Amino acid sequence: MPFGYGPAAKLLSLARRLRGSLRLVFVGEGSALELVSRCPRDFEAVIAASPLAAESQRRVREADAVLSVMDRGAGAAADRAGRPLFVVDSLLWMRAEIPESLRGARVYFAQAFPAPEPSPCEPSPMWVGPLIAPHAQAGPRGGDLVVNLGGSAAPDDRRALFAAYARLALRAVVAAGLLERFERVRVIGGQPAIAALSGVAEDPRIECGSLSPEDARACTAGAAALLTAPGLTATLEAFCDRTPTWFLPPQNYSQWCSLRRLRARGLADGAFHWEDEAAAPRLSERLPAAAHAAAAEPIRRACEDPRVIARVAASLEGVGREGGERAARQAAFFRSLGPCGLDQIAVSLRRLARPDSRAAAPSPRSPISRSQSWTS
């Protein structure tokens, strides 16, 4: 999926488990391409294009299977070329339905959050554990507060929202007095969000940047505390690494749903959610995809309201306090999600690539041979 860092980070972690078993070619654009371009060694080739572009379609026709990480265009390309499709989805728990272009998947891997649950979707999913790599390699925990803004990309033009959200987050951090509580504040996120902080992050104690997945993980794993938009990838990585984690308000529909679940389980104490405001839209889980953008404009307007900045700042009063107990609770929740879903998926895909399947002709119903190439 070309929007947001989470899908690309999951793909990179999965690619490292499949290297040597399958030849991997990446096709993508947007923030997914931005991240993957920083890690080109994980793929035989990196193609900067949408899955339906001419070069991409040629690659798909030459491949023996397509792996889509929630990218609908990849599903459509696989169907057009008659290639077997495999899908990895970290958000099925909040979906009303599987997108039509992904319904032809031979296997639909779905991340359970917090546990496998009945789904109205077809095909029936294969539920797996967290799509998160094991503990990051980090040195001794320092005195930094890391503020994670996420990938800052969406299917439509929400640059104004991401810019307003980034400024809200930093202004709330300053208003909450967190610059005095930590040695340094490191703000990380997608390029659109970081660019929006030009002229706002002028204090020398504030450092802003857009990092590779490995560098971002090392940054958060070694921090005294993490303050993050409630996207699942950064959240579960921090829970895994036992980094005490606090939350900003949601910036999209999936975060709207995930923060609600995190608060209900006592994992996001004190976090401010837009639905705390009487005027906020009422958004339930499993809304049709067409309704997901309904929150964008209300969130953008709220981010620019001085009263909201004050409310978010008030919600940050506990950031950095009693972090050990908070991290223990969050780590216990992470363990309850089960074994690493990336390993589960890699084992399944390698099984499909077992040597005795080499003679099978590639088709949507046949196994995939070890020597075949995949396009993701």
* Contact indicator for 342, 85 with CB cutoff of 8 Å: no
Mean predicted confidence (pLDDT) in 17-26: 90
Could you report the per-residue pLDDT of 202-255, keeping only the tens digit for each? 899 999 998 888 889 999 999 999 999 999 999 999 999 999 999 999 998 889
- Position 80 pLDDT exceeds 60: yes
- DSSP-based three-state secondary structure for 22: strand
The pLDDT confidence band at residue 154, using thresholds 50, 70 and 90, is low
* Contact indicator for 61, 81 with CB cutoff of 8 Å: yes
All domains in the chain, ordered by first residue = 5-134+340-375 (3.40.50), 144-335 (3.40.50.2000)
- Position 355 pLDDT exceeds 60: no
pLDDT at residue number 375: 59
Residue of 54, 14, 10, 15 lying closest to 31 (CA atoms): 10
| List of E strands, 178-272 | 184-188, 206-209, 225-228, 245-247
pLDDT at residue number 362: 35
Q: How far apart are CA 91 and CA 73, in angstroms?
A: 17
The three-state DSSP-derived secondary structure of 89-156 is ECCHHHCCCCCHHHCCCCEEEEECCCCCCCCCCCCCCEEECCCCCCCCCCCCCCCEEEEECCCCCCCC
The pLDDT confidence band at residue 285, using thresholds 50, 70 and 90, is confident
Q: Which residue has the higher pLDDT, 375 or 240?
A: 240
pLDDT at residue number 120: 67
pLDDT at residue number 354: 54
Q: How far apart are CA 323 and CA 242, in angstroms?
A: 10
In the chain, the percentage of residues whose pLDDT exceeds 70 is 90
Mean predicted confidence (pLDDT) in 60-78: 92
The pLDDT confidence band at residue 139, using thresholds 50, 70 and 90, is low
The pLDDT confidence band at residue 369, using thresholds 50, 70 and 90, is very low
Q: Which residue has the higher pLDDT, 138 or 255?
A: 255
Could you report the per-residue pLDDT of 85-129, keeping only the tens digit for each? 999 999 999 888 888 999 999 999 999 998 777 776 778 899 999
Could you report the per-residue pLDDT of 326-340, keeping only the tens digit for each? 999 999 999 999 999
Could you report the per-residue pLDDT of 240-272, keeping only the tens digit for each? 999 999 999 999 888 999 999 999 999 999 999
- 292: CB partners within 8 A, 6+ apart: 252, 253, 254
* Contact indicator for 108, 88 with CB cutoff of 8 Å: no
pLDDT at residue number 52: 85
Over the chain, what is the mean pLDDT? 86
Mean predicted confidence (pLDDT) in 295-310: 86
- Position 376 pLDDT exceeds 70: no
pLDDT at residue number 148: 96
Lowest-confidence pick of 99-113, 167-181, 197-211, 280-294: 280-294
* Contact indicator for 270, 189 with CB cutoff of 8 Å: no
